């Protein structure tokens, strides 16, 4: 589903309302339409994501929502027989949660590059990376391992 279609409809409606007034009203309606675009895009994405979550929860449908700059896609979740996490943002059959993350511009760019090289979305890449990080055993240094440095206890 292209969100731009719905955003254009809303923008046109706001501009049409502006035509009912004077030049100042038309100018304000144009500014309002422009300012509302990111918020409307976010609201549409939130509605679709919530709808998919309700379908997963209430009807046990394994769905994933893919959100790109201008499109939303709902698709079934598939499980990988190799034991790898699925290619979607949802691990098969698990409930999901949102997680806000702040990254430096450089790190964000590196993550986007890594995801593109892997041929997956940033969200999928991050889920796979986090999955690997928390499921791979961490082996702390054992006795006899030399650790150098300075510090105080």
Q: Which of 102, 105, 108, 111 is nearest to 129 (CA)?
A: 111
**pLDDT value of residue 149:** 59
Residue 147, in any domain of the structure: no
Residue 84, in any domain of the structure: no
Residue 134, in any domain of the structure: no
pLDDT tens-digit readout, 122-137: 888 888 888 788 887 7
**pLDDT value of residue 13:** 94
**pLDDT value of residue 24:** 94
Q: Give, for 34, the enclosing helix (H) or strand (E).
A: helix 23-59
Asked if 56 and 87 touch (Cβ cutoff 8 Å), the reply is no
- Residue 120 token pair: 């997956």
Residue 52, in any domain of the structure: yes
Tally of structural domains, the chain: 1
Question: Could you give the count of Cα atoms lying within 13 Å of 69 in the half-sphere of its Cβ?
Answer: 0
| 39 vs 78, residue with greater confidence | 39
pLDDT tens-digit readout, 57-108: 777 766 666 766 666 666 655 444 444 444 454 555 566 777 777 888 888 8
Tokens 């964000």 correspond to 108
**pLDDT value of residue 22:** 95
Query: 71: domain range?
Result: 3-76
**pLDDT value of residue 11:** 92
Q: What is the mean pLDDT of residues 49-57?
A: 77
Residues 6+ apart with CB under 8 A from 130: none
DSSP 18: H
Residue 139, in any domain of the structure: no
Residue 16, in any domain of the structure: yes
pTM over the 0.75 mark: no
Residue 60, in any domain of the structure: yes
In 3-state terms, what secondary structure has residue 6?
Answer: helix
Asked if 75 and 66 touch (Cβ cutoff 8 Å), the reply is yes
pLDDT tens-digit readout, 139-153: 655 565 555 656 565
Residue 24, in any domain of the structure: yes
- Residue 96 token pair: 């999901």
Tokens 């809303």 correspond to 10
- Residue 135 token pair: 């499921």
How far is residue 14's CA from residue 2's CA, in Å, rounded to a whole number? Answer: 20
pLDDT beyond 50 at 4: yes
């Amino acid at each position: 589903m292209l969100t731009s279609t719905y955003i254009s409809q809303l923008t046109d409606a706001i501009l049409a309302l502006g035509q009912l007034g004077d030049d100042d009203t038309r100018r304000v309606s144009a500014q309002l339409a422009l300012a509302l675009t990111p918020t409307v895009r976010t609201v549409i994405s939130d509605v679709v994501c919530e709808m998919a979550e309700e379908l997963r929860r209430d009807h046990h449908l394994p769905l994933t929502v893919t959100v790109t700059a201008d499109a939303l896609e709902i698709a079934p979740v598939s499980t990988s027989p190799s034991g790898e996490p699925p290619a979607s943002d949802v691990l098969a059959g698990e409930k999901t949660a949102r997680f806000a993350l702040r990254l430096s511009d450089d790190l964000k760019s590196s993550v986007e590059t890594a995801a593109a090289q892997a041929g997956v979305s940033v969200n999928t890449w991050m889920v796979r990376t986090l999955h690997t990080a928390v499921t791979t055993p961490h082996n702390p240094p054992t006795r006899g391992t030399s650790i150098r440095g300075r510090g105080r206890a």
